[in-house]
């Protein structure tokens, strides 16, 4: 079986240049991210209690970074679930394609930066959880 597992998702630690004037973190495209970055978007001004992105992608891979504040990423492969808390600007969560994921529990002023492997394509979304489970070979 070729299905994705939540254990394929992994936290990546980016370089940190600590400085009394303020810290600095950087990402180089082919060095720190396991795919070529095709698109960057960010989520901000999230009202308390709201969640975003309850779906999976057929092909898209992404890295999610809490640039400011904190949030949780809920991951589900149709069998196992995992919740990853992001609360430092030097961590990124790699999420492979074919993983159901939801961003939730945003703190006040949280900014979630998402690096994506493909341009925006509505056809790549799987928004029906039961269809996702069938496609990921878990049902
Ligand atoms: P979507 O990914 O559907 O967010 P969520 O799953 O949290 O509801 O994006 C919301 C809207 O934004 C959708 O109508 C399409 C648009 N959008 C773009 O045009 N380009 C993008 O890169 C993204 C991420 C979204």
Q: Digits of tens for pLDDT over the chain (139 positions)?
A: 568 999 999 999 999 999 999 999 999 988 999 999 999 999 999 999 999 999 999 999 999 999 999 999 999 999 999 999 999 999 999 999 999 999 999 999 999 999 999 999 999 999 999 999 999 986 5
CB 3 within 8 A of CB 96: no
Tens of pLDDT, residues 10-46: 999 999 999 999 999 999 988 999 999 999 999 999 9
Sequence ranges of the domains in the chain: 6-135
* Residues contacting 58, CB < 8 A, separation 6+: 97, 98, 123, 124, 125, 126, 135
- Residue 96 Cβ < 6 Å to ligand 1: no
Residue of the nearest CA to atom 19 in ligand 1? 120
Residues 38, 55: Cα–Cα separation, whole Å: 20
63 closest CA partner among 104, 9, 106:
9
Handedness of CA 130, 37, 1, 3 (dihedral sign): negative
- The active-site residue, picked from 32, 55, 58, 88, is 55
For domain 6-135, give the fold. Answer: Jelly Rolls (2.60.120)
């Amino acid at each position: 079986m070729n299905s994705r597992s939540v254990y394929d998702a992994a936290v990546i630690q980016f370089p940190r240049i600590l400085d009394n004037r303020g810290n600095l973190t950087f990402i180089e495209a082919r060095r720190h991210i396991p795919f070529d970055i095709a698109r960057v978007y960010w989520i901000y001004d999230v009202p308390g209690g709201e969640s975003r992105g309850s779906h999976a992608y057929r092909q898209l891979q992404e890295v999610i970074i809490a640039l400011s504040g904190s949030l949780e990423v809920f991951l589900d492969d149709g069998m196992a679930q995992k919740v990853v808390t992001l609360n430092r600007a030097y961590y990124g969560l790699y999420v492979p394609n074919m993983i159901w994921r939801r961003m939730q529990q945003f703190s006040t002023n949280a900014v979630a930066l998402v690096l994506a492997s493909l341009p925006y394509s509505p056809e790549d979304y799987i928004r029906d959880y039961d269809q996702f489970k069938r496609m990921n070979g878990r049902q």
